[in-house]
Structure 1
Amino acid sequence: MSNSPFITASIKTFNESQGIEKTIDSIRRQLAAYPHEIIVADSLSTDNTRELACAKGVTVVSLRHPEDRCCGVGHQLSYLHSQGEFLLLMDGDMTLEDEFIESALAFMQANPNYAGVAGRVAMDEGSNYEFKSRKQRINKIYPLGDCDHLGGGGLYRRSAIEKIGYLTHRGLHGYEEAELGIRLHQAGYKLHRLDVPYFSHTSHVMSTLTMLRYRWKSRFLSGPGELLRSAWGKPWFRDTLKITRNEAIFTLYWLLVFAMLLSGNGTLFGLSLLPLILFIGLKTVKNRSLFAGLHSVLNLTAFSAGLIRGLLTPLPDPMQPPENDIVSHQDAKQ
């Protein structure tokens, strides 16, 4: 067996002590037949995620500065330290399914014009609106066949990533996989989701309001605005508008409502609220729950505020590496 890794598995983590060992074990089991390396890219976890990962004998790299934490920085950090011909992207709360690697490699080797491939996703029963909604829309979020981007990660061809300059945008707090997909399509590549299991995912157990507060504090809700800002002046800006259209429409709507409120015209303000009432009604009927309708509005409103925040946030150069360190087992204990 060659010492040079054929596959690099990248696991991005932030406080994933509950699942990181299971994630590593599932990947190691599926990659046993291939020369491989496993890299855990940690965003300065405050629990013992790094210690647990180091004890598993994998490479652990960590950010130096907490202000660099975001969804997009993890896999880019792994990529900077990686050697594999193929890059497997996972999160620390995922478990790699048995059938994926063999099927994914066969597809990629037979289709050189594809830059990445993923598979079906299994989710547990969520305890908050975000994850319950995500499970209800799982076939829409993770569509089979050719697709615009691979939500949740996938197996990527290194040569394709080298062609577009970087793996994931180190400044995006969300939508980093969408941004990656857009750049790959611009470079002439395709993406595909196979009808085979890829990973199972453990949902957050926070309540709906607690989850929204967490998403705001972590700046995840700024993802749509940051995606738009990252694409400003680039050929794929229109593609980012397509991806963020729901958040953008809701943002424009709330700006209109606010303008009507400031106008002092009660009639116009009342009329401006009619689309909101209709939207809640439609969501209530669709989900057979008034709470689901209200939660949907609350969620979109939070993303609207995040979109504006993201648009106003300067982004780092995605080609510049974040400051980072390779973590030893002794370092992880400190």
Structure 2
Amino acid sequence: MTRVSIIIKAYNEEVHIASAIESALAALPSPEGEVVLVDSASVDKTLECALPYPISIFRIANASERCCGAGPQIGYAHAKGDFLCLMDGDMVLDKEFIKTALAFLNDHPDVAGVGGRIDEMSTENIEFKNRARNLSHLNPLGEVDRLAGGGLYRRSAIDELGYLTDRNLHGYEEFDLGARLRSSGWKLVRLNVPAAKHFGHTSSTYRLLFHRVKMGYIFAPGEMLRASINAGYFARVIRSLREFKLWVAVLGYWSAFALLALFTSYGAAFAALALLGVAAIILALTVWKKSFSNGTYMVIGWHVFTIGMLFGLFRPRISPLKPLTVETLRLSR
């Protein structure tokens, strides 16, 4: 009988972790399946809430190794399933998704992973409100380049790659996984079926942005680009990564004005013109989005992530194959 391992990655999810685990247990298609929770050194009651459940629980022992790519990789290293389902600790998995995804994978041997629709349930801040409005654009149906938000993967395809997710990545780990799978000839498909409900951050817009900075998430694009350069799939990444052109545009904008300001006699004038240009962009976005706060946040976010991309690009890397330091808290039977 097919065995499925559901891998949940979590960090400070005491509010949602019980619902996530219960939904995962309910979605297992056979008694031989398992749920594997990987906790990223949470400082709240996530583990206390999770321990009563009949699941395997692992904890990243070294908080400095905490990042989005570490949790799923630890789960992969300890999972026993022929198929691996990835989800976050703030998600509720649809009970029928795995059965539907398994049937599709069995009928399509050239497909490595299957996703479904992810419903954004938290729209208190601008980021998640925009994400909910643009789900069809962010998570298109059919053959896709990534399974953002998780999905069901064929383990044999992952074994060919040598690792599931890159332990160096503070984000974009599913994008990177998709690029590696597709470079190896595999396909990814998102079905028009419910997969999970996502209960994201409910903090204010700029508090969430600060959280992204604090947790290193803004380094992720650069880290992924660095990984793709080292492994030879950079061209595939930049073709698929829509944000890349935006970051290049931001860098080009400021570089051009900086050169004009430094090497001409009209430095102050060019500096003022650059700031006026930013104001004009904010005004245009305000009209387009019908919201000054949204327009302002978008421009600030572009700049923060562009700077983060540069830092991430030059961060030192550890081999993705190197095991992480893990504490085993519980093994399911």
Q: TM-score, normalised by structure 2?
A: 0.93
2: CA distance, partners of 1:207 / 1:233: 37
1: CA distance, partners of 2:286 / 2:257: 22
Paired letter, 1:246: L
Cα drift, residue 103 of structure 1:
1.2
Q: CA, structure 1 residues 125+10, in 2 after alignment: closer, same or farther (shift >3 Å)?
A: closer
Which residue in the other structure is 1:175 paired with? Answer: 172
Cα drift, residue 63 of structure 1:
1.1
1:82-161 aligned at under 5 Å gives the runs 82-161=79-158
Which residue in the other structure is 2:30 paired with? Answer: 33
* Contact in 2 for aligned 1:256/1:272 (Cα 8 Å): no
2:242 corresponds to 1:240: no
Q: TM-score, normalised by structure 1?
A: 0.92
2: CA distance, partners of 1:316 / 1:229: 12
Q: Tell me, which stretches of 5 or more residues in structure 1 are unaligned?
A: 330-334
Which residue in the other structure is 1:225 paired with? Answer: 222
Paired letter, 2:14: S
RMSD: 1.8
- SS of 1:303's equivalent in the other structure is helix
- SS of 1:232's equivalent in the other structure is helix
Paired letter, 1:312: F
2:40 corresponds to 1:43: yes
Q: 1:292 aligns with which of 270, 294, 306?
A: 294
2:250 corresponds to 1:250: yes
Q: 2:64 aligns with which of 63, 67, 81?
A: 67
For residues 293-312 of structure 1, what are the alpha-carbon distances to aligned partners after superposition, in whole Å with 9 as ceiling and x for unaligned? 11100111110111111112
2: CA distance, partners of 1:241 / 1:32: 37
2: CA distance, partners of 1:232 / 1:114: 25
- SS of 2:8's equivalent in the other structure is strand
Larger deviation: 66-75 or 286-295? 286-295
2: CA distance, partners of 1:152 / 1:186: 21
Q: Tell me, which stretches of 5 or more residues in structure 2 are unaligned?
A: none
2: CA distance, partners of 1:36 / 1:282: 52
Runs of 4+ in 1 over 4 A off after TM superposition: none
Which residue in the other structure is 2:54 paired with? Answer: 57
Larger deviation: 269-278 or 101-110? 269-278
Q: 2:313 aligns with which of 308, 311, 314?
A: 311
Cα drift, residue 259 of structure 1:
3.8
For residues 54-73 of structure 1, what are the alpha-carbon distances to aligned partners after superposition, in whole Å with 9 as ceiling and x for unaligned? 21121001111000000111
Cα drift, residue 237 of structure 1:
0.8
Cα drift, residue 120 of structure 1:
0.6
Q: CA, structure 1 residues 189+153, in 2 after alignment: closer, same or farther (shift >3 Å)?
A: same
Larger deviation: 240-249 or 256-265? 256-265
Paired letter, 1:117: V
Which residue in the other structure is 1:332 paired with? Answer: none
2: CA distance, partners of 1:209 / 1:31: 38
In the alignment of these two chains, the number of paired residues is 326
1: CA distance, partners of 2:157 / 2:88: 21
* Contact in 1 for aligned 2:29/2:99 (Cα 8 Å): no
Q: 2:193 aligns with which of 191, 196, 206?
A: 196
2: CA distance, partners of 1:157 / 1:8: 11
Which residue in the other structure is 2:278 paired with? Answer: 276
Paired letter, 1:323: T
* Contact in 2 for aligned 1:7/1:34 (Cα 8 Å): no
Paired letter, 1:223: A
Q: 2:12 aligns with which of 11, 15, 26?
A: 15
1: CA distance, partners of 2:287 / 2:143: 32
* Contact in 2 for aligned 1:118/1:150 (Cα 8 Å): yes
* Contact in 2 for aligned 1:118/1:193 (Cα 8 Å): yes
1: CA distance, partners of 2:318 / 2:66: 12
For residues 144-175 of structure 1, what are the alpha-carbon distances to aligned partners after superposition, in whole Å with 9 as ceiling and x for unaligned? 11000110110000000001111000110011
Identity %: 37
Larger deviation: 27-36 or 262-271? 262-271
Which residue in the other structure is 1:187 paired with? Answer: 184
- SS of 2:34's equivalent in the other structure is strand
Cα drift, residue 30 of structure 1:
1.4
- SS of 2:231's equivalent in the other structure is coil
Cα drift, residue 50 of structure 1:
1.5
